Chains A and B, each alone.
Chain A
Amino acid sequence: MSGRSHPHGFATLIAIVLLAVVSGALVVLARRVSYEVSRTRTTAEDAQLRQLLMAGARRAVAKSAVWGNSPVAATWQMHLPEPLASAGASVSLDLAPTPEGTVKVRIEARVEPRQALQTLDFKHVNGMWYAAGAHLGP
């Protein structure tokens, strides 16, 4: 009996060890692939959010022509193309005058479940509002 079981036991042990090693490698590689997929999706969503932020900034600059000398606080939503809107995307602009005579426009882009934020600083020079700076993030 022992003469037959030893070779089988050795082969089984080798097979189990190799299976464990390969399984471990597969788990690591699967985790890496999962990370890459997640990273790619996140990168694409971030790029979409930045596009929306830039569109919001362009809308804010265009609207600044009709603010007059003393704009009032306001909030409005941008109208987005149907594919974006149906995908849950939205861009909201929040205008807030400051005591220093400048205007801050807070632009929030959202593609569920992610969001991005930027703040534009407007200065009033020679009767015109112009964007003096931008800050990405809260």
Chain B
Amino acid sequence: MKRHDGQISQCWNVARPPSAVFGRSPKNLPPGGGTQPRRLCHIGPLPMRRACGFLLIEVMIVLGLLAVVGVLSAQLFFATLRAVRQSSAGQTAEMRFDLAMNELRTDTWGASEITCDDAHHVQLRTAAGQTVHWNSDGRSLTRTGPKATERQHWTDVAAEGSFAARGPALIVLMAADDPAGQMVLPSQSMLSAERLP
């Protein structure tokens, strides 16, 4: 190897066709297509080594990153689906609970007598002498009106409910150990009757 006009000159002998060395067409072969050793000279900058693949460590890192991203994406996807499903179910349960409580509030409002046989059953006697029964069974509520056919049932309401009578009001306990989880449903009939002269 020697300097020649500021460029690098490289000479070597080859026993193979130049196409095997440079990947080109065998245009430098002698006429007639011989394969005799021939002295080739390359004048110019040295060809740079081109990276035509990946190292094993690079592939492993990329695969590891892809695995982490895949796992995180899957978790995010399923967490999103679960949140959407739970949100919808929770909203429906709250609506059922609100409907049941509105009905119970209306019954209690006009009740002249509130009787709790146990924590899961209450009788509301109206001024007309009719009785409405309410039963709580876990997360379901059942109302049975004066007629046997007047039966309403709410399943899978948002909270468990138990009953307690306290003066002119019915207490609905949604959490036994949490005072904030109570609903006080007053009886207007009983409140008005208390003010009788």
Interface, chain A (partner B; CB < 8 A): 14, 17-18, 21-22, 24-25, 28-29, 31-32, 35, 39, 50, 53-54, 57-58, 61-62, 65, 118, 120-121, 128, 130-137
Contacts and interface: CB of A to CB of B under 8 A. Distances in A.
A65 B119 CA distance: 39
A21 B76 contact: yes
Given A25-B83, A32-B91, A133-B112, A57 B98 contact: no
Interface size grouping (class) on chain B: 20 to 34
A48 B105 CA distance: 15
Given A18-B76, A24-B80, A57-B191, A134 B109 contact: yes
Contact of A61 (B80, B83, B90, B192): B192
B188 A22 contact: no
Given A134-B109, A136-B110, A21 B80 contact: yes
Contact of A28 (B76, B84, B187, B188): B84
Contacts of B192: 57-58, 61, 120, 130-131, 134
A61 B190 CA distance: 12
B51 interface: no
Given A134-B109, A134-B110, A121 B195 contact: no
B73 A14 contact: yes
Interface in B69-120: 69, 73, 76-77, 80, 83-84, 87-88, 90-91, 94, 98, 105-106, 109-110, 112
B contact patch SS: helix
B187 to A, nearest CB: 8
A105 to B, nearest CB: 10
Given A14-B69, A35-B91, A135 B80 contact: no
A30 to B, nearest CB: 10
A39 B97 CA distance: 12
Interface string B43-62: 00000000000000000000
B105 A133 contact: no
B189 interface: yes
A133 B110 contact: yes
18 contacts: A17-B73, A22-B76, A24-B80, A28-B84, A28-B87, A31-B87, A39-B94, A50-B186, A53-B188, A54-B188, A57-B192, A61-B192, A65-B197, A120-B192, A131-B189, A133-B112, A134-B187, A137-B106
The 9 tightest CB contacts between A and B, nearest first, are A133-B127, A131-B192, A134-B188, A136-B109, A25-B80, A32-B87, A134-B189, A28-B84, A136-B106
Nearest to A123: B127
Contacts of B88: 28
A136 B126 contact: no
Contact of B126 (A22, A28, A133): A133
A65 B192 CA distance: 13
Given A21-B77, A25-B80, A137-B106, A132 B191 contact: no
